[in-house]
Amino acid sequence: MSLEGLLPELAVIRKDFPILERTLAGGMPLVYLDSANTSQKPQVVIDTMVDHLERHNANIARAMHQLGAESTEAFEAARDKVAAFIGAPERDEVIFTKNASEALNLVANTLAWAGPRRVGEGDEVVITEMEHHSNIVPWQLLTQRTGATLRWFGLTDEGRLDLSNIDQLINERTKVVSLTWVSNMLGTINPIAEITRKAHAVGAIVVVDASQAAPQLPIDLAAMPADERPDLVAFTGHKVVGPTGIGVLWGSRAVLDELPPFLGGGEMIETVRMEGSTYAGIPHKFEAGTPPIVEAIGLGAAVDYLGHVGMDAIHRHEQAITAYALEGLQSVKGLTVLGPLDAASRGGAISFELDGVHPHDIAQVLDSRGVAVRAGHHCAKPAHARFGVQSSTRMSSYLYTEPREIDALVEALEYTRSYFKLD
């Protein structure tokens, strides 16, 4: 079947992802609907990483030999590719981290330590109730350690940010506003520009968790008006068809220069004497030690791949699949979707409840039909608590998802209802 907005070369795209060919126990074909958890990898990412390990492996930025030069060049080329992927105003503003959590922790830790942005007693940090735990806990730790106050936006019943008290929440005491661009549980797309404008007006910096946004929304930071552009943006490699073990923190040079170093060690220094050290400029200031070299290079190949397919086209595809999935899911008796029901204003992760069956049992029965979804709290316990549920089942699509896979999900959910004798 064909839906308006699907990637025109979907069959070709699917061939790029070897894992989609495999079958599971009992000969079931794989229906992978867990891409918000981690995305699958195209052959070009796998090949790029293997080629690097087979032919170019060496440490970077210090080995005075040909392999060292090749490795360094490939690593720094990956930085260029990531910078292009998000439209970074400067390539040196792209810092490689281990994952999005480390990127967010880098910011939340260094803000406690020193510099003109230092958060202290009487200051306020604002987050939201729909954050992933990795954008909640670092800020709880920061405010607990510094005596600052943590505040947060609540959610509406539709699963959107409740902005009715934005002027009280974001005030002259606010130092940091940190929020997700796209919710990993509710799918909600947040009004980053509007919130950033408010935060900048009171002199606060804005940190955006783009872990779910980077895979599916075109991002062009340089094209955003300065007062609407976040100051720091974090995302992880493995959700944008790259490998695990590599994440990205983009920050404006102005803010990154104001933050003190995070981890100390090799590569992040300018000079070291026993009495003290001076530090390298960005990005190396925040990249102590040997980085995940082949992972960064794999990420470069991944964002290059997405760029070739086109992020606008991927976004349209996700919207088409999401609309189709919302329709299919709501045809299942007793099923309630958590989050906005309008595909145009949400991402491709859809969490739902099914009356009478616990999410783990749903996921288990779905797995017996080859359908892979996530069940649990999706590292967003407060958002679940807001909707009075302990856990949910989540399906999430990506550029390789076909409508027939959504059909398979809906059919497997009907089977789950009959398995648990719900009628």
Sequence-separated (6 or more) residues with CB below 8 Å from residue 124: 148, 149, 150, 151, 171, 173, 174, 175
CB closer to another protein, 150 vs 422: 422
**What is the smallest separation between the CB atom of 390 and another protein, expressed in angstroms?**
5
Contacts of residue 324, defined as CB under 8 A and 6 or more positions apart, other chains included, come to 3, 403, 406
Smaller CB distance to another protein: residue 225 or 388? 388
Question: How far is CA 233 from each of CA 59, 61, 81, 111, 259, rounded to the nearest angstrom?
Answer: 27, 26, 16, 15, 15
Query: Would you say 14 or 381 has its CB closer to another protein?
Result: 381
Which of residues 7 and 365 has its CB atom nearest to another protein in the complex? Answer: 365
Residue 31 interacts with another protein (CB under 8 A): yes or no: no
Per the annotation, the verdict on 246 as an active-site residue is no
* Token pair listed for 345: 């204003």
What binding mask, one character per residue, do residues 50-79 give for another protein by CB under 8 A, x or -?
A: ------------------------------
Q: How far is the CB of 134 from another protein (least distance, A)?
A: 15
Count of chain residues binding another protein (CB under 8 A): 21
Candidates 30, 381, 382, 414; binder of another protein (CB under 8 A) is: 381
Report 348-367 residues binding another protein (CB under 8 A).
357-361, 364-365, 367
Residue 382 interacts with another protein (CB under 8 A): yes or no = no
- Quick check: 391 binds another protein (CB under 8 A)? yes
Is 259 or 383 the residue whose CB approaches another protein more closely? 383
The one catalytic residue among 379, 382, 387, 389: 379
Nearest approach, Cβ of 372 to another protein (angstroms)?
12
Select from 1-9, 14-22, 191-199, 414-422 the region that touches another protein (CB under 8 A). Answer: 414-422
Among 203, 390, 404, 418, the residue binding another protein under the rule CB under 8 A is 390
Measured from the CB of residue 366, what is the shortest distance to another protein in angstroms? Answer: 10
Residue 23 binds to another protein (criterion: CB under 8 A): no
CB of 395 to another protein, least distance (A): 17
Q: Judged by CB under 8 A, does residue 25 bind another protein?
A: yes
Q: Which of 189, 375, 408, 410 binds another protein (CB under 8 A)?
A: 375
Query: What minimum distance in Å lies between the beta carbon of 25 and another protein?
Result: 5
Question: Quick check: 387 binds another protein (CB under 8 A)?
Answer: no
**Shortest CB 360 distance to another protein, Å:** 4
For residues 202 and 389, which CB has a smaller minimum distance to another protein in the complex?
389
3-class DSSP string for the chain: CCCCCCCCCHHHHHHCCHHHHCECHHHCECEECECCCCCCCCHHHHHHHHHHHHHHCCCCCCCCCHHHHHHHHHHHHHHHHHHHHHCCCCHHHEEEECCHHHHHHHHHHHHHHCCCCCCCCCCEEEEECCCCHHHCHHHHHHHHHHCCEEEEECECCCCCECCCCHHHHCCCCEEEEEEECECCCCCEECCHHHHHHHHHHCCCEEEEECCCCCCCCCCCHHHCCHHHCCCEEEEECCCCCCCCCCEEEEECHHHHHHCCCCCCCCCCEEEEECCEEEECCCCHHHCCCCCCHHHHHHHHHHHHHHHHHCHHHHHHHHHHHHHHHHHHHHCCCCEEEECCCCHHHECCEEEEEECCECHHHHHHHHHHCCEECEEECCCCHHHHHHCCCCCEEEEECCCCCCHHHHHHHHHHHHHHHHHCCCC
Q: Is 377 in the site for another protein (CB under 8 A)?
A: yes
- The answer to whether residue 26 forms part of the interface with another protein (CB under 8 A) is yes
* Residues lying near another protein in the complex (CB under 8 A): 25-26, 357-361, 364-365, 367-368, 375-377, 381, 384, 390-391, 419-421
**Residues annotated as catalytic (active site), given as ranges:** 379
